[in-house]
Structure 1
Amino acid sequence: MKSVVVLGGYGNFGRRIVEALAREPDVRVFVAGRDLKQATAVAQEIGGAAEPLRLDAHAGDFTAELRKAGATLVVHTAGPFQGQNYSIPQACVAAGTHYIDLADGRGFVCGITALDAEAKLNGTLVVSGASSVPALSSAVVDALGAQFASIESIDHGISSGARPPGKATMDGVLAYAGKPFKQWRDGQWHQVRGWQDLTRRSYPTPIKGRWIANCDVPDLDLFPERYRGVQTVQFRAGVDPASNMIALWFASWLVRIGVLASLQSWVPTLHRTASALARYGSKRSAMHVTVRGVALNGEPAVRSWFLLADQDHGPFIPCFPAIALARKLVRDEISIRGAMPCMGLLTVDDIISVGEGLDLRVVCG
């Protein structure tokens, strides 16, 4: 029997992953974290193969505890990842345990290859970024890219509904508000600022127009390497309603000009406020990927892909790649070993099929 340890298994993402994997035959799924009371409550609520496990991933005996639990795989959901080191995946490798995380921190995901040799030596797979970016985004570009002789630009992003993400996710994405980071544009690196360059993006009905702005994600480094010859890679995100997005854009300027050092200290207040007001806002989210370049017939071409979510089902999507990859591992359907960002391991269908039964719609154009 395989055993999956979900770190942060009682959090927003962790709970969804536990629930999905607990349906797998011959698999034990541990709701793991430092709070045994919360872990027990979630395990009892989900039932089936879910079991509580008190586990401190930062303790010195973490590797020994993984061996004791007979862990086949660890799924790390306890962000934010922007300030984390690689002690957890390193402990997993030492225990001979596969590792998946949902990180969207640019440095964390891109740097995971530092563990490649060690992971191969121990026969483990270490995957970072099994989430909307770069897992789903790269799978879509791979699919669209098959229609091109060369790719010139990739423009992609996410617009969420009014329901806020978990505090850890909000902390991660607001950490760089107003702060500089690099973006590949016109064949050169340019400096941009987080949550600035506000742009109006059109989505298919019923979402239509949304405001989006610069976000710092792993794709900005990974895509220029993966899709050689691409001249521009942009990622923007936004929130609904528009008033929240305009407020975030304004706050990013307060950081940029030095009035505020960061928005991170405001996260608890912002999260409470957004949660209280969510019922008055939209339940619709969207993701877009637009690829421009030269088609196989030599003509200029543009291809777009949209994922539309209703009924507040958008926040489930970041879990899909981790669930899809975990299923492949416990079913022994993947043999690759080493440490890598989550690209080239899953197809779009692998990922989207996880959401069967949810109010999701793919539109291509």
Structure 2
Amino acid sequence: MATFRESQARRGTLAGKAFGVVVLGGYGHFGRLIVERIARIEGCEAWVAGRDPDRAAALAARCGARVLHVDLREPGLAERLRSTGAALVIHAAGPFQHLDLGVAEAALDAGMHYIDLADGRAHVLGIDTLDARARALDRLACSGASSVPALSGAVVDALRPRFARLQSVHVGITASAQAPGRATLASVLSWCGRPLPRSGPGVGVAHGLQGPVRHVFPAPLGARWLLDCDVPDLALLPRRHPDLTTVRFSAGLGLDVYQLGGWLLSWPVRLGLLPDPVPLAGPMQAIARRLAPLGDGCSGMFVSLSGSDHDGRPLSLCWELVAEHEHGLYVPCAASIALARRLASGQLQARGAMPCVGLLGLDDVLDELAGLSVRAALREDTGATTR
């Protein structure tokens, strides 16, 4: 697991009619990276979809993709999608924390598979309500094809056989200092200082952007501060691994000042002095843009598992991923690209509506990061590196 494998042979060869993939928000933060990668897959045809035809056309010309002018807020989405003749919709427009399942329903109405990059708990868990409909149409509707829960879940699945009993999982992500989108900041602020749903019987009440921990990543990333956040893993991992008693998720940005600011802001919200911090998203993004040049372009992720091995001895493992040169932006995109590749080649036969756990192996996701400044490794963990 310490290196990526170039596995072109196992990916299969595509033949016949092009497998069309419509990327909603295709010129956005993650959509652009997905379009670029999809356009390089033999037998696939990428569509850049969004409200701005000029931005879509510019990217499409650069990548050899096609353009779909579409506004998700307007009626007739299913008809617009159907007109492309494509087989799959990848929803990368976000944010997903406050969206309903209208886009997924429109994709199914158009006779298409559906994948999104959501990491909002309610949205990802809610995709199950479309299961019967997706099965009847012989289509896959999948939510959460991102760093969480797709990649984090794949890591836990890969390491679970080494444990006789798996008791706790702690997932952490630290992004680079690049300013997140305003919509992303608004989503984070929506649960800043507010109680997070319990993740298991061994976990007390946590609050958004509190509970600071410091994790020491491999060089050149080093130590980063992270804060408690809400993600689908807190519900999905205990459901998938019933012996788990503790699941925790922490996240942060590249500069410690971001974590300090988030932690300080969380207290007036928690104490009821600041009813709604969401309007601060714009000013916070402006500050983040000014500070971004101070970052090092590095980001990382860890999944720490603890329990007992098959001889009854305590076992702690820590899987870590480190990205340099801003290549960490590709990590949240890898699962959706892997799913598109496997659907196009016929290797993925799953149908129905479900969160993105158990659909991809760890290597399926990591293979999509081959050739980038991204590396992953596994080590035994004494617990001293996260405190």
TM-score band, normalised by the shorter chain?
over 0.9
Aligned residue for 2:130?
115
CA distance in 2 between partners of 1:79 and 1:43 (Å): 20
Match of 2:227 in 1: 213
Q: Percent identity?
A: 43
Aligned with 2:315 (options 282, 301, 317): 301
C-alpha distance in structure 1 between counterparts of 2:76 and 2:364, whole Å: 35
Which runs of 4 or more aligned residues in structure 1 lie more than 6 Å from their structure 2 counterparts after TM superposition?
A: none
- Counterpart CA distance in 1 for 2:97 and 2:155 is 25
Structure-2 residue corresponding to 1:38: 55
1:207 deviation in Å? 2.2
Number of aligned residue pairs: give it: 362
Instruction: Report what 1:97 is aligned to.
Output: 112
The alignment status of 1:51 with 2:82, answered yes or no, reads no
TM-score, structure 2 length as denominator? 0.90
Q: Secondary structure at 1:178's aligned position in 2?
A: coil
Output one character per residue of 1:92-114: Cα deviation in whole Å (capped at 9) or x when no partner.
11221000000000000011111
Q: Shift in Å at residue 132 of structure 1?
A: 0.2
The corresponding residue for 1:16 is 33
Q: CA deviation at 1:196?
A: 0.4
Q: 1:143 — aligned with what?
A: 158
Residue type of the alignment partner of 1:288? F
Question: Could you tell me which residue of structure 2 aligns to residue 255 of structure 1?
Answer: 269
Compute the displacement of 1:184 (Å).
2.2
How far did residue 191 of structure 1 move? 2.5
- Letter of the 1:336 counterpart: A
1:188 to partner: Cα distance = 4.8
User: In the aligned structure 2, how far is the partner of 1:131 from the partner of 1:307?
Assistant: 14
CA contact (8 A) 2:203 2:245 kept: no
Q: Is the 8 A contact 1:177 1:262 kept in 2?
A: no
Secondary structure of 1:146 counterpart: helix
- CA deviations 1:52-85 (Å, max 9, x no partner) are 1101234321111222111200000111101100
AA aligned opposite 1:307 = L
Bigger mean CA offset, 67-76 vs 255-264: 255-264
Post-superposition offset of 1:282 = 2.4
Query: In structure 2, how many angstroms separate the alpha carbons of the residues matched to 1:29 and 1:261?
Result: 43
The structure that is strand-richer by fraction is 1
SS of 1:308's partner is strand
Please state how far the C-alpha of 1:330 moved relative to its aligned partner. 1.5
Give the match for residue 175 of structure 1: 190
Distance 1:119 1:250 in 2: 44
Cα deviation for residue 281 of structure 1 reads: 1.8
The alpha carbon displacement at 1:259 in A equals 3.0
Matched residues in 1 for 2:378 and 2:113: separation?
A: 35
- Say if 1:139 and 1:347, in contact at 8 Å, map to a contact too: yes
Query: Is the CA contact (8 Å cut-off) linking 2:81 and 2:110 kept in structure 1?
Result: yes
Matching residue of 1:362:
376
Q: Quick check: 1:94–1:122 contact (8 Å CA) kept in 2?
A: no
Please show how residues 58-97 of structure 1 align to structure 2 within 5 Å. Answer: 58-97=73-112
Farther-moved stretch of structure 1 (266-275 vs 219-228): 266-275
Cα offset, 1:329, TM superposition: 1.0
Match of 1:269 in 2: 283
Deviations 1:168-227 (A, max 9, x none): 222222321111121324x25642210001122222222222111110000001111101
Q: Which amino acid aligns with 1:339?
A: A
Whole-angstrom CA distance in 1 between matches of 2:62 and 2:198: 44
Tell me, in whole angstroms, the C-alpha distance in 2 between the residues paired with 1:12 and 1:239: 16
TM-score (norm 1): 0.96
* Corresponding residue of 2:259: 245
DSSP-derived class of the 1:333 partner: coil
Q: For the Cα contact (< 8 Å) 1:183–1:234, is it kept in 2?
A: no
1:25 and 2:39 matched: no
Q: For 2:210 and 2:152, how far apart are their aligned partners in 1?
A: 21
Q: State how far apart, in whole Å, the 1-side matches of 2:226 and 2:342 are.
A: 34
Q: Which runs of 5+ in 1 are unaligned?
A: none
CA distance in 1, matches of 2:51, 2:83: 16
Tell me the distance in 2 between the aligned counterparts of 1:172 and 1:330: 32
Tell me what 2:12 maps to.
Answer: none
* Residue among 21, 33, 43 paired with 1:4: 21
